[in-house]
A and B are shown apart, each in its own frame.
Chain A
Amino acid sequence: MRTILIIAFKEIQEGLRNRWVLATTLLLAALALSLAFLGSAPTGNVGAGALDVVVVSLSSLTIFLLPLIALLISHDAVVGEMERGTMILLLSYPVGRSQVILGKFCGHVLILAFATVIGYGAAAAALAITGASVLAASWYAFASMLGTSIMLGAVFVAIGYLVSSLVRDRGTAAGVSVGIWLLMVLVFDMALLGILVIDQGQIISASVLEGLLFLNPTDLYRLTNLTGFNVSQFSGMAGLAGTATTSIGALLLGLLVWIAAPLGLAAAFFARREL
């Protein structure tokens, strides 16, 4: 445990030093703030749902951006350190390989969490300061959006490690990561949509569709955030939300599995690897 914390601390130290933390936080804050003010235009000043609109637009943004950032910082965690020659030294210390993976994971997720909370929090704080009235339920939706955003980031950090512990060099890791990002964020949903259109509801029932959505962590994220009771009316997901039978608990469990499975596999592959 101590070792994991030491490694996590070093990752954070490095992240602060090479300005990853700063850049990510600023990027997220800038996007969140602009969405908060531009995005509130359609509801006007009297709209009670200012924060709800922010939640909807931010979670759509998160689906694109956070996986990308997470993969960027995680894809060379193993293979990059091997190439630079720092891994060989680290492993000559009294450190288990799974501790290396877990330590890095803690560090990277904390960096992402910090950037998300501060960046998105800035938008919420700005709304509160400018005097928009916000319901308690909206705060709840916002908070759960923050929580699940961090989880989504953690999923892709874990996937990045899995890629990193499998490939031979950093270039491949970067390429595969971009591929995974495209697949999860764009291709999967479009393919699913295409299949639904062709199928015309003959084979794929609503429950099968929900099952299929569990295959993609970004869809789990979308479901948890955009089908919330107060938010779904803005998100265009109300139709799906109305028929959705999956509980929030199941969705969160799905996300947790999406974190644990790639992380476990990454640790297993790394443990067997020779360097």
Chain B
Amino acid sequence: MTVTVSVSGVDKNYRKVRALRDVSFDLIPGRLSALVGHNGAGKTTLIKLMLGLIRSDRGAIRVMGQDPAAGEFSARRLLGYLPENVAFNAALTGRETLTFYARLKQIKPSKAWALLDRVGLADAADRRVGTYSKGMRQRLGLAQALLGQPRVLLLDEPTTGLDPALRQTFYEILNELRDDGATVLISSHALNELEDRAEHVLIMNQGRLVAQGTLTELRSLSQLPIRVTFDLAGGGNDEAAVSIAGEINSSPCRRTVLVSDEKGKMDLLRAAANDPRVENIEIAAPTLDDLYAHFLNTQEKAA
């Protein structure tokens, strides 16, 4: 598979602040990647590097085969970017603003206006951006990022300020683009939102890439236990089939068991399914939140 964005061994310092330390990863088409980390973990710095707005101190960055900082900007026509705090000139209308950006990407403005509809700005298109609410500016930001069917989308905190309905549309649009073969990178704090959407997760902490992989890979890497909870009928405290090592937090009619891997989980489930007293089974795999906290802790302990 072709790599659209490759970052290898990148260091970046702002005077004394070490913003990035030896970061390497690849992004491939048709995949939605999530870049997660605290404020100041280096997420925005990383995105700026991929845009060529700043230069790395060490290492190489390639976006669609080009070095973004080298001043070759043909690749940027296929690139969509939504900054963290998107801002526009307040004097122009939404339509004029989008027209300007469409022209820069050499797209017919009339084609671009359909995007205003798409993000729900059709009614406000001819009002000045200065009168827009934060959510509306975010929508306009989204519209400009989607100009010209981008092959690489870099979105810095895209859903802050979006209402739930638009959030839904937003992910629908992203899914379409991704299915179409676009590379999507979302930096976000909203981990639960990305949980079932991101196919690839990059966890950053203090300028380092702490872990990366699919959710399944990260789960097995973290060795965080899977939590299986049983509801028992009758409340009998006799030996149940489900009593396996690692049991915690037991009450007569509700037992929670932690298992370390998929095999253990399946063994447990088979046993439980044969036990007539088991009324219900709940399984909770480690969430992105759990994984994030885990990798942060292990890294900070190691440091």
Chain A residues in the interface with B (C-beta under 8 A): 2-3, 6, 10, 13-14, 17-18, 84-86, 88-96, 274-275
**Known A10-B100, A275-B53: A94·B92 in contact at CB below 8 Å:** no
Contacts of B144 in A (CB 8 A): 89
Give, as a whole number of angstroms, the nearest-CB distance from B158 to chain A. 14
Interchain pairs with CB closer than 8 A, number:
66
B89 located at the interface, meaning its Cβ lies under 8 Å from any Cβ of chain A in the complex: yes
Interchain CA distance A151-B89 in the complex, whole Å:
28
B122 located at the interface, meaning its Cβ lies under 8 Å from any Cβ of chain A in the complex: no
B131 located at the interface, meaning its Cβ lies under 8 Å from any Cβ of chain A in the complex: no
Contacts of B89 in A (CB 8 A): 14, 84, 86
Contact with A along B72-97 (1 / 0, CB 8 A): 01101101010101111101100010
**Known A86-B87, A89-B144: A95·B92 in contact at CB below 8 Å:** no
Q: Is A275 within 8 A of B87, CB to CB? A: no
Q: Is A85 within 8 A of B87, CB to CB? A: yes
A84-B87, A88-B53 are known contacts; what are 20 more A-B pairs with Cβ within 8 Å? A6-B100, A10-B92, A10-B100, A13-B96, A14-B89, A85-B83, A85-B85, A85-B86, A86-B88, A88-B48, A88-B83, A89-B86, A91-B52, A93-B73, A95-B73, A95-B104, A96-B73, A274-B53, A275-B48, A275-B54
Give, as a whole number of angstroms, the nearest-CB distance from B238 to chain A. 66
B51 located at the interface, meaning its Cβ lies under 8 Å from any Cβ of chain A in the complex: yes
Interchain CA distance A13-B52 in the complex, whole Å:
28
Contacts of B111 in A (CB 8 A): none
- CB-nearest residue of chain B relative to A91? B53
Highest count of chain B CB atoms <10 Å: which of A88, A96, A275: A88
Interchain CA distance A95-B73 in the complex, whole Å:
7
- CB-nearest residue of chain A relative to B87? A85
Give, as a whole number of angstroms, the nearest-CB distance from A14 to chain B. 5
A-B contact pairs, 29 of them (CB 8 A): A2-B106, A10-B92, A10-B100, A13-B92, A17-B91, A84-B87, A85-B85, A86-B89, A88-B53, A89-B81, A89-B83, A89-B86, A89-B141, A90-B104, A92-B53, A92-B79, A93-B73, A93-B76, A93-B104, A93-B105, A94-B73, A94-B74, A94-B76, A94-B104, A94-B105, A95-B73, A95-B104, A274-B54, A274-B55
Interchain CA distance A88-B77 in the complex, whole Å:
15
Give, as a whole number of angstroms, the nearest-CB distance from A268 to chain B. 13
Interchain CA distance A84-B87 in the complex, whole Å:
7
For the complex, count residues of B whose C-beta is within 8 A of A: 30
Q: Is B91 within 8 A of A14, CB to CB? A: yes
B71 located at the interface, meaning its Cβ lies under 8 Å from any Cβ of chain A in the complex: yes
- CB-nearest residue of chain B relative to A92? B81
Q: Is A92 within 8 A of B76, CB to CB? A: yes
Contacts of A275 in B (CB 8 A): 48, 53-54
Interchain CA distance A86-B91 in the complex, whole Å:
13
Give, as a whole number of angstroms, the nearest-CB distance from B285 to chain A. 37
- CB-nearest residue of chain B relative to A97? B71
Interchain CA distance A90-B141 in the complex, whole Å:
12
Interchain CA distance A49-B135 in the complex, whole Å:
62
Give, as a whole number of angstroms, the nearest-CB distance from A62 to chain B. 27
Contacts of B76 in A (CB 8 A): 92-95
Interchain CA distance A274-B54 in the complex, whole Å:
5
Give, as a whole number of angstroms, the nearest-CB distance from B107 to chain A. 11
